[in-house]
Every structure is written in C-alpha cells, then in structure tokens.
Structure 1
Amino acid sequence: MAQRDQPAIGGDDPLMRTFTGSFFRAVDPAYRDVALGGSRSAGRYSPPDVPTLYLSASLDGVAAAMVAHTDNRTPDLRVLRFEVNADRIVDLRDHAALTSVGIDPADAAADWQETVAAGGSPSSWRVREALERLGAHGLIDPSRKQPHLWHLTLFDWNTPGAPTVLEVPTP
C-alpha cells in the first residue's frame, strides 16, 4: 500500500504526547456508518463493552494490523481516513517513560486473544486502566508484525476535552 505522510508528534512531556494528522481504519462495509463509534468486540486494549477507537498511522499499518484479524473479519474491508487532533497520548514505544510510571511494556505486548477466549482479562487491559488513571486519552502502540509501524488507540474521542476525530470523505 502507498505510504502517506506520518502524523505529527509533539509535546514536551515525555509521557503525554500530542498527535495530529491522518489516520486510517479498516471497517466492514456493513458498519461503515458507525466507524467512528469504535470497536464492536474485545481488543488488545478493550473489553467488548468499552468503546475504543483503533486507528493506524499509515495504510501499511492497517495492512499489518489486519494480518492478526483475518479469522474473524469479512475479507471485504474498506479503509477509511480520519483527521485526528489528540493530546494526552502515551507512546508505548518509550519504555523509559512507561517504566517511570510503573508500567511494564511487556504487559502491553503480551498475547491477549487467547486470554480473552479463555474468559480472562489480559495484561494489556490493565495497561489501559493504568494509563486512564494517569489521565491519558489513548496510546501509541507499535505494530508487532512490523515494529517500524504504529497505531493510535483512543479511549475517549469527540467529547468535550477529548481528542477530535473526523472522517475524511472518500470519492
């Protein structure tokens, strides 16, 4: 897939960063109208009943993320583009910043699907809970398939004081 410019990263705080730019999400066409509603099922950072918006920083990132989700998704996905303006985002690629607030980066990277399938709560859900207690609006998650790629996970969006996400109409 063609690579677009990466979103801009800013902020002086080594833990809480700002991000602006284009992000992407693959959606089942049947759910296109609710794409901004977030996930409909459990995810790495979300129990099934907790709204979470998973986005990729590039089209290549969408492709890498979909490799892990081919079993339970329609093969006919549509990639949508969103403009995001977000603050209070924790970058999980910065292990020193995570460790400084008592978060083990391995907890974020641990397998979650098998734990959820067995009825458990994966360690990555606890990472989210810890970040929310710190006031984070979301996190940057490195791709496990291709570590040079990354994803944005939002815990809250399009509410007062939260990041804004707007879909960019496609022709």
Structure 2
Amino acid sequence: MAQRDQPAIGGDDPLMRTVMGSFYRAVHPTYSDNALAGSRYAGRYSPPNVPTLYLSSSLDGVAAAMIAHTDDRTPDLRVLRFEVQADRIVDLRDHDALASVGIDPADAAADWQEAVAAGGSPSSWRVRQALESLGAHGLIDPSRKQPHLWHLTLFDWNRPGSPSVLEVPSP
C-alpha cells in the first residue's frame, strides 16, 4: 500500500483542533468487517467495552504502534485505510494547551498496561475523562516508539455532531 499524504491539522482554537485526511488501523482479519466499531479491549485511553477508535496518521505509525501489541500469537494483521473529518480534537503534543486546562502530558504517556493488570485505572483514562468533560471528540497522541509519528484516538464517531470516519475499500 502506498503511503498517502499526512492528515491536516487545523483550526483557530489552540486546544480543540480539526483533523482531516487518511488514517490507518491494523486489525485481526477476523474483525476487519467490524473495524469501525473500535477497540473491544482495554487500551491506553479506553476501559474495557468503552468504544474507542485508535488510528495512525501513517503506515509507519501503524508499524510503530504494533510493536507494543504484537506477539507470537498475533496473526498477520490487515491494515485498513479510513478517511476522517474530525473536530474538537485535543493535540497532546501541545503542552501549553494542555496546561491551560490542567492536564499533565505525563499522565497520558504513563504505563497503562501495568495499572490495568493490577485491576486499577491508569492515569490515561483520567486524561480521556477530562477531555470528554471539555467536549473533546478525541485526541492526537504522539508515538512513544517514534516521537515524530502520531496517532488519532476518537471517543465518538459516525453519529450526528461527531467525527466522520469512512473506510476506504482496498484496490
């Protein structure tokens, strides 16, 4: 699959941005028909059974994200492409904007898997709650494996007044 241009980030509000363009998601082939349903398991920004759509802004971003989620039991994953138009997206790379609403970027970056394994709630889940209370539809998350890459996490999509996400059929 050829790499597309990077998605565009815009808007005049320093906290709530707009995002538009192609994004990617790796899914187990069994679940590729339900890729737009979001994640089913606990994730950095999602307790179990709380719909959350994790996307990468590039194919390189998908590869970086899969480093933490791939093991010898994982089959070859299918990479799907989506077109996204979203507003009210908070960019976690903008530390000044986060500070203006009392969010510490370290809370988003902290290890979440250990907290979940211990039966707790990671600080990144509280970041999501804080952003949702401000009316955010999602966030831009910098890659921890390769900081020049980023991901888009949506809390709500494909409902009236929320971001639009459409799967682009493979050629």
Same fold (TM over 0.5): yes
String of CA shifts for 1:28-58, please: whole Å, max 9, x gaps. 0000110000001000000011000000000
Following superposition, the deviation at residue 72 of structure 1 comes to 8.1
Asked if the contact 1:2–1:60 (Cα under 8 Å) also holds between the matched residues in 2, the reply is: no
Mapping of 1:1-171 within 5 angstroms?
A: 3-71=3-71, 74-171=74-171
What TM-score do the two structures reach when normalised by structure 2? Answer: 0.97
d(CA) in 1 for partners of 2:164, 2:76: 27
Question: Which residue identity is paired with 2:131?
Answer: L
**Partner-residue secondary structure (3-state), 1:156:** coil
CA 1:102 to 1:81, structure 2 compared with 1: closer, same or farther past 3 Å? same
User: Gaps (5+ residues) in structure 2?
Assistant: none
Question: Which residue identity is paired with 2:68?
Answer: A
Percent sequence identity is 87
What TM-score do the two structures reach when normalised by structure 1? Answer: 0.97
Question: Which residue identity is paired with 1:70?
Answer: T
Following superposition, the deviation at residue 144 of structure 1 comes to 0.1
d(CA) in 1 for partners of 2:95, 2:3: 26
CA 1:6 to 1:85, structure 2 compared with 1: closer, same or farther past 3 Å? same
d(CA) in 2 for partners of 1:54, 1:144: 15
**Partner-residue secondary structure (3-state), 1:47:** coil
Following superposition, the deviation at residue 126 of structure 1 comes to 0.0
CA 1:73 to 1:88, structure 2 compared with 1: closer, same or farther past 3 Å? farther
Asked if the contact 1:7–1:57 (Cα under 8 Å) also holds between the matched residues in 2, the reply is: yes
CA 1:72 to 1:48, structure 2 compared with 1: closer, same or farther past 3 Å? farther
d(CA) in 1 for partners of 2:107, 2:71: 24
d(CA) in 2 for partners of 1:18, 1:166: 16
Structure 1 segments, 4+ long, off by >3 Å, are none
Question: Which residue identity is paired with 1:150?
Answer: W
d(CA) in 2 for partners of 1:107, 1:150: 17
Question: Which residue identity is paired with 1:78?
Answer: R
Asked if the contact 1:57–1:151 (Cα under 8 Å) also holds between the matched residues in 2, the reply is: yes
CA 1:101 to 1:72, structure 2 compared with 1: closer, same or farther past 3 Å? farther
CA 1:105 to 1:44, structure 2 compared with 1: closer, same or farther past 3 Å? same
What RMSD, in angstroms, separates the aligned Cα atoms of the two structures?
1.2
How many residues are treated as equivalent by the alignment?
A: 171
User: Gaps (5+ residues) in structure 1?
Assistant: none
Asked if the contact 1:28–1:73 (Cα under 8 Å) also holds between the matched residues in 2, the reply is: no
Following superposition, the deviation at residue 2 of structure 1 comes to 5.4
Question: Which residue identity is paired with 2:113?
Answer: Q
